[in-house]
Structure 1
Amino acid sequence: GNAVILSSALFHLNLEDKQTILHFDSIIGGREAKPHSRPYMASLQYQEHHSCGGMLIREDFVLTAAHCPSTVVLGAHDISKKEKSQQRIKVAKYYPHPKFSGKYDYDIMLLKLEKNATLNKFVKTIKLPKKNGKTPANVKCHVVGWGRTGNDLRPSNVLKEATEKTQFSSEWEKIWGSTFNFHHMICTKFTKKGGGVCEGDSGGPLICNKRPQGVTAFIMKDNCNNPKYPHYTLLNIVIGTPHTAPKVY
Structure 2
Amino acid sequence: MTAEEKLEKAEKKFNRLINVLWGIAIFLGIGSISGILAINEIIDSRVNKSVTKQINDFDKFQTAINLADHGEYFDALNQLKTTWNTISFKPTISLTDYYYRNLVWILGSIEVESENRILNTSSIWNELKEDKKFTTYKSAVGDDENFNYSYAMCILLYDNDSSFLTSARKKLQITLREERYIQRADYLFNLAMLDLVEGKTNDAKLKLQNAHNINPDIYHFDDYKKYINSFLNSQELVFWEYIYNKAIELNIVDVENKKTFKEIYVEFVENEIKAHNNV
Report if TM-score (shorter chain) is over 0.5: no
TM-score normalised to structure 1 length: 0.22
Q: Which has the higher helix share?
A: 2
Q: Which has the higher strand share?
A: 1
TM-score normalised to structure 2 length: 0.21
Report which structure shows greater RCO (CA 8 Å, sep ≥6).
1
Larger radius of gyration: 2
